[in-house]
């Protein structure tokens, strides 16, 4: 195997923060609150100006935001109420790691943790770091970041009129949904492998990969026990989209939700729902089972070259097969 090119994380992530503009405009236009829209635009500028490798800007929330209860909702209602649901519906891996975030990163009802502090801690545990972004990224750009062990995070907070549900990622989703699972080495490793698999792949393969990610890392469920019981719904969540949303977390484990066994060939044919609950949720017996199936699917993506990530230089080398 011989390298044909090498690209560093700094070079890649200086050019990969492409926001899904059409989606962003739809979301912002739905808010009549001009001050909120103005603040969202400010958060977008902060992320656009950010240079990878520099400290993540610390957010000072405004007096206006405090008066409209944004901080109150995040610190008290969202944090406290989600923790209650987590204890009932979250998987063990999530619960164990969430305690570490409380001990090491300032997670509590009294303060809003800063991405820079969490990023430093994650790096010591699984090698992942965080990068601010202004909203939904395109699938290819989101996956490219994962290839370099970088997870893109929003810093804005959902609108105060509906703290229990948001159709887009926000700070609550990132902190209360994703971060605990990124302390899991297997979870972190597969996140990167999905990202690497997306490099220079076809649009069809990229769409398949993002759907596999979506229905596992965002909306995946695990069975508690030896087998799935349709009546008892013995399910636990590990997907961040569920773990950060009161209403959908409760719905996903209820008798009203359609539940299917996770099989990649079936999942890639399903269109994800972004503005409403999923039509179907997928369960696995264990996280390792789900991840093994994803890795098996990745191995079927054919290409004349492979990629190698060097953690020391944070760069990826594209390799070609040499016949001797």
pLDDT at res. 80 = 84
Quick check: 128 pLDDT over 50? yes
pLDDT at res. 72 = 54
Distance CA 6, CA 196 (A): 13
Grade residue 323 by pLDDT with cuts at 50, 70 and 90: very low
Query: Tens digits of per-residue pLDDT, 270-285?
Result: 999 988 999 999 999 9
**Residue 304 within any structural domain of the chain:** no
pLDDT at res. 68 = 38
Looking at per-residue pLDDT, the higher value among 208 and 40 belongs to 208
**Residue 259 within any structural domain of the chain:** yes
For residue 292, indicate whether it is catalytic: no
Q: Give yes or no: residues 169 and 21 share one domain.
A: yes
Grade residue 62 by pLDDT with cuts at 50, 70 and 90: low
For residue 218, indicate whether it is catalytic: yes
Parallel, antiparallel, or unpaired: how do β-strands 2-8 and 129-132 relate?
unpaired
Could you tell me which residues are annotated as the binding site?
A: 173, 178, 218
> In the chain, how many domains are there?
2
Quick check: 12 pLDDT over 60? no
pLDDT at res. 33 = 78
Q: Which domain holds residue 146?
A: 2-201+309-320
pLDDT at res. 168 = 81
Grade residue 37 by pLDDT with cuts at 50, 70 and 90: confident
pLDDT at res. 254 = 96
Grade residue 180 by pLDDT with cuts at 50, 70 and 90: very high
Looking at per-residue pLDDT, the higher value among 95 and 274 belongs to 95
Q: Kindly name the residue from 145, 198, 244, 284 that is annotated as catalytic.
A: 244
Instruction: Tell me the CATH number at 86.
Output: 1.10.800.10
pLDDT at res. 324 = 40
**Residue 303 within any structural domain of the chain:** no
- The pLDDT mean for the chain works out to 86
pTM: 0.89
For residue 173, indicate whether it is catalytic: yes
Quick check: 303 pLDDT over 60? yes
Quick check: 70 pLDDT over 60? no
Could you tell me which residues are annotated as the binding site for Fe cation?
A: 173, 178, 218
Q: Give yes or no: residues 49 and 21 share one domain.
A: yes
CA angle 129–207–180, rounded 5-degree value: 30
Contact between 157 and 21 under an 8 Å Cβ cutoff? The reply is no
Q: Give yes or no: residues 54 and 193 share one domain.
A: yes
For residue 178, indicate whether it is catalytic: yes
Q: Give yes or no: residues 36 and 90 share one domain.
A: yes
Q: Kindly name the residue from 168, 174, 218, 248 that is annotated as catalytic.
A: 218
Q: Give yes or no: residues 47 and 79 share one domain.
A: yes
The residue whose two tokens read 């656009």 is 48
**Residue 153 within any structural domain of the chain:** yes
- Residues of the chain with pLDDT > 90: what percent? 60
Q: Kindly name the residue from 93, 178, 198, 252 that is annotated as catalytic.
A: 178
Q: Kindly name the residue from 119, 173, 174, 198 that is annotated as catalytic.
A: 173
Q: What string of DSSP letters covers 108-162?
A: SSS-PPPHHHHHHHHHHHHS-EEEE-SSPBPHHHHHHHHHTTEEEE------TT-
């Amino acid at each position: 195997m011989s390298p044909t090119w090498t690209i560093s994380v700094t070079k890649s992530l200086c050019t990969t923060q492409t926001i899904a503009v059409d989606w962003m405009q739809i979301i912002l236009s739905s808010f009549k609150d001009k001050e909120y829209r103005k603040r969202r635009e400010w958060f977008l500028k902060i992320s656009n100006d950010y240079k990878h490798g520099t400290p993540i800007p610390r957010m000072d929330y405004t007096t206006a935001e405090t008066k409209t209860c944004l901080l109150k909702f995040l610190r008290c209602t969202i944090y406290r109420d989600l923790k209650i649901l987590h204890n009932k519906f979250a998987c063990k891996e999530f619960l164990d790691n969430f305690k570490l975030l409380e001990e090491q990163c300032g997670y509590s009802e009294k303060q809003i943790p800063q991405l820079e502090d969490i990023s430093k801690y994650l790096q010591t545990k699984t090698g992942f770091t965080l990068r601010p972004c202004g909203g939904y990224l395109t699938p290819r750009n989101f996956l490219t970041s994962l290839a370099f062990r970088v997870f893109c995070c929003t810093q804005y907070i959902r609108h105060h009129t509906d703290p229990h549900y948001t159709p887009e990622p926000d700070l609550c989703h990132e902190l209360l949904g994703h971060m605990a699972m990124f302390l899991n080495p297997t979870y972190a490793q597969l996140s990167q492998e999905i990202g690497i698999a997306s490099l220079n792949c076809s649009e069809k393969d990229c769409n398949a990969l993002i759907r596999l990610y979506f229905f596992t890392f965002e909306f995946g469920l695990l069975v508690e026990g030896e087998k799935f019981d349709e009546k008892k719904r013995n399910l636990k969540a590990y997907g961040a989209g569920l773990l950060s949303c009161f209403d959908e977390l409760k719905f996903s484990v209820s008798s009203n939700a359609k539940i299917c066994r996770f099989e990649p060939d079936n999942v890639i044919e399903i269109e994800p729902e972004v503005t409403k609950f999923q039509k179907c949720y997928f369960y696995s017996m264990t996280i390792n089972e789900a991840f093994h199936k994803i890795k098996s699917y990745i191995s079927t993506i054919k290409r004349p070259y492979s990629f190698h990530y060097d953690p020391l230089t944070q760069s990826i080398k594209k390799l070609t097969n040499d016949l001797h």
